[in-house]
Amino acid sequence: MNHYPFEWRVQELCSEDFIHFNRQFSKTVLQLMSFAEGPVVIIASGDFNETLHALNKPKYWNQYIKRVLRRRRSALAVERPILFMPVWNSETIIGITVVEGIDAQFAHVLSEEWLRDRSRIISREFLLQKQLAMEPVTGMFNGLHLQDTLEGLLADEPQAYFKRNKKDTTESVLKNVSLFLIEIHPRANNAEKALSYIVRAGYYLESFLGQDVLHHMGNGVFGFIGHHLDEERAKILGENILSWFRREGFSRIHIGINTIEGRVGATDSN
């Protein structure tokens, strides 16, 4: 009996999604709440004090976040027209969406029932967007997510990336970003073995990269964004990846590197 070389994964929202999908999620909130101008901040459950400090947000935000968690419903700040809404994964609150720039004419006519429904709708939209961004063979993010991440970097939106390294500054986050595209050519005599080869290569590459987010665009083409890498350091990393793959028994690997604010370089193995 033949089996597919991968298992279909049930996708659920998690706290890391608020980093990986910050740009998309923020757009979704403003689309579903037309009376708000933003900005939108989505905070994962956990150490809110540390996160608010990193975002340079007022301390009073913390009291409204705690109120949302305690009462399990949205809260409107009295200091300014700012709305705090829970983000749900089933019946568990996994984060808080903070919407600034609420139109004052709407701020005090929003019913509790409407806010409860809107919170659930937004959470469901978040989950759907995550599912659309996943590649089923490897369970990694797909090319659409990689493209959106690049657009966010080029649009000078550092907020989505501040948690990669809490010592980073906005200026350093946006410098020396390199895009790596890695093409794996499987040596296999049937489709099942070829897919197994690609999946195994993806897992090896993911373990090599550590915390860097790996994407699979299909057909054995992987991509990831290297932060704080100028052209020379990106080339060295590419050569290290090639050497590492050879030691693990993989061959026919091609790597293309493009450093933003730099020139394109390429390293091949045939």
pLDDT in tens, 12-47: 899 899 989 999 999 999 999 999 999 999 999 887
- This prediction has a pTM of 0.79
Query: What is the pLDDT at residue 40?
Result: 96
Query: What is the pLDDT at residue 95?
Result: 95
Rounded mean pLDDT of 148-163? 62
Confidence grade of residue 7 (pLDDT, cut at 50, 70, 90): low
Query: What is the pLDDT at residue 270?
Result: 45
Q: What is the DSSP string of the chain?
A: ----SS-PPPP---TTHHHHTHHHHHHHHHHH-TTB---EEEEESS-HHHHHHHTT--TTHHHHHHHHHHHTS-EE-SSSS-EEEEEEETTEEEEEEEE--B-HHHHTT--HHHHHHHHHHHHHHHHHHHHHTB-TTTSSB-HHHHHHHHHHHHTT-GGGGGGG-TT--HHHHTSS-EEEEEEE----SSHHHHHHHHHHHHHHHHHHHTTSPEEE-STTEEEEEETT--HHHHHHHHHHHHHHHHHTT---EEEEEEETTS-EEEEE--
Query: What is the pLDDT at residue 121?
Result: 97
**Cβ atoms of 160 and 152 closer than 8 Å:** yes
Query: What is the pLDDT at residue 171?
Result: 41
Query: What is the pLDDT at residue 175?
Result: 61
**Mean pLDDT over all residues of the chain?**
84
Closest by CA position to 86, among listed 73, 101, 76? 73
Rounded mean pLDDT of 118-124? 97
Strand partners, 95: 44, 87
- Report the C-alpha gap between 215 and 218 in whole angstroms: 9
The pLDDT tens digits for 53-105 are 888 999 899 999 999 999 999 999 988 999 999 999 999 999 999 999 999 88
